[in-house]
């Protein structure tokens, strides 16, 4: 078991724990969403955070609530044929539970990892999804330059992480969704120096999303001492860019700017629903505390239109 630097656990009532989206629908084809069965894939991605090198989350399974009928619970269990692998079971594990541990910081710039892979479900409408989390610090913790730290998720063990977005699984069809785990909005440092995760989650139809990607001039980065470069993406045209603080306008997502092996600075903001967005560049991403109103400076704000299944280029 990993040695963890433990901090005191802060008992906090978590409000706004789930991220509510009003859109509804499912991807894939099929003549009906009732009767029979369809398949579903669910993947997870992340926006960057700058206070940590790794953020590990242990997933125990999923709960799905059909519009009619009983709740469906899926568990991650140890594969009886290979103890190094995890399988999905619709009954409680007969082999030991095997949390699916993911490093969310490895899943930005459009990278993903699967929580469900073409899993067969009853066709129909579903009201919500809940991600069940193993809060044991052997599976859920944060790594920064000083070592490993417990990552407290208030009520996480009892309630999990709920996404209140309805979706459809069509009979004979395939639904494909992505959970965007926005760590830049989610991780908070308490007054005692503990790390706390108050998840901000976004559930999107993977097939109906697009991306914005491009380069950033090196002159924008080298002009600032200790630059932490990032691109912020805001919903709508001509938005005046602002920091992350829970007050509009908050970015839909942020994208890390990294140098490739050719020495070019690149970014990609992925899984954006079709529409027009305002993008802006900053060198002060590391100074943006989601719990406070910070005077973050932006440059190069521009409008970019996103279409489904398309990477729209924009260079700073």
ω into 249 cis (within 30 of 0): yes
What are 138's two structure tokens? Answer: 């052997």
Q: Give 211-313's CATH code, choosing from 1.10.287, 2.60.40, 3.40.50, 3.10.620.
A: 2.60.40
Residue 185 and residue 244 in contact, taking contact as beta carbons nearer than 8 Å = yes
Q: Which two tokens stand for residue 163?
A: 């996404």
pLDDT at 37 over 90: yes
With H, G, I as helix, E, B as strand and everything else as coil, classify residue 67.
Answer: coil
Band of the pLDDT at 131, cuts 50, 70, 90? Answer: very high
Q: How far apart are CA 59 and CA 57, in angstroms?
A: 6
238-258: per-residue pLDDT in tens? Answer: 999 999 998 999 999 999 999
Query: Could you please report the per-residue DSSP string of 99-110?
Result: -EEEEGGGS-TT
- pLDDT recorded at residue 229: 96
- Model pLDDT, residue 156: 58
Q: Is-contact 171 32, C-beta < 8 A?
A: yes
Cα–Cα distance between 306 and 170 in angstroms, integer? 26
Whole-angstrom distance between the N-terminal and C-terminal Cα of the chain? 45
User: What residues does each domain of the chain span?
Assistant: 37-208, 211-313
Contact between 208 and 27 (Cβ < 8 Å) = yes
Higher per-residue confidence, 89 vs 160 = 89
195 in Cβ contact with 49 (< 8 Å): no
Confidence at residue 13, expressed as pLDDT on a 0 to 100 scale: 30
DSSP-derived 3-state class of residue 291: coil
Mean pLDDT of 61-79: 93
Annotate 212-223 with DSSP letters as a single string: EEEEE-HHHHHT
SS3 49: coil
The two tokens of residue 220 are: 């924008």
Whether 90 shows a pLDDT value over 90: the answer reads: yes
User: What is the per-residue pLDDT for 185?
Assistant: 87
Residues in the chain: 316
Task: State the average pLDDT for the chain.
Answer: 86
* Rg of the chain, C-alpha, whole Å: 20
The pTM assigned to this predicted structure is 0.83
- Which of 87, 86, 89 has the alpha carbon at shortest distance from 74? 89
Two tokens, residue 24: 């509804």
């Amino acid at each position: 078991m990993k040695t963890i630097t433990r901090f005191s656990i802060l008992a906090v009532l978590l409000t706004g724990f789930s991220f509510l989206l009003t859109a509804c629908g499912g991807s894939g084809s099929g003549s009906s969403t009732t009767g029979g069965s369809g398949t579903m894939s669910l993947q997870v991605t992340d926006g960057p955070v700058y206070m940590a090198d790794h953020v590990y989350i242990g997933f125990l399974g999923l709960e799905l609530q059909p519009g009619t009928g009983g709740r469906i619970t899926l568990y991650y269990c140890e594969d009886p044929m290979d103890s190094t692998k995890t399988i999905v079971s619709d009954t409680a594990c007969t082999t030991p539970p095997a949390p699916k541990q993911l490093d969310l910081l490895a899943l930005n710039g459009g990278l993903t990892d699967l929580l469900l892979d073409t899993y067969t479900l009853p066709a129909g409408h579903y009201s919500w999804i809940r991600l069940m989390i193993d809060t044991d610090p052997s599976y859920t913790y944060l790594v920064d330059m000083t070592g490993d730290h417990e990552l407290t998720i208030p009520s996480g063990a009892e309630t999990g992480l709920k996404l209140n977005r309805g979706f459809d699984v069509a009979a004979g069809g395939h639904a494909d969704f992505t959970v965007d785990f926005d760590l830049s909005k989610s991780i908070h440092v308490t007054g005692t120096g503990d790390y706390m995760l108050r998840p901000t989650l976004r559930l999107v139809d993977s097939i109906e999303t697009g991306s914005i990607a491009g380069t950033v001039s090196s002159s924008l980065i080298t002009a600032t001492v200790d630059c932490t470069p990032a691109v912020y993406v805001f919903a709508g045209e001509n938005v005046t860019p602002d920091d992350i603080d829970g007050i509009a306008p908050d970015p839909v997502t942020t994208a890390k700017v990294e140098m490739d092996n050719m020495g070019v600075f690149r970014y990609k903001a992925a899984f954006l629903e079709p529409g027009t967005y305002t993008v802006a560049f900053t060198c002060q991403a590391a100074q943006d505390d989601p719990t406070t109103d910070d005077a973050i400076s932006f440059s190069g704000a521009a409008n970019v239109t996103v279409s489904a299944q398309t990477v729209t280029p924009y260079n700073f």
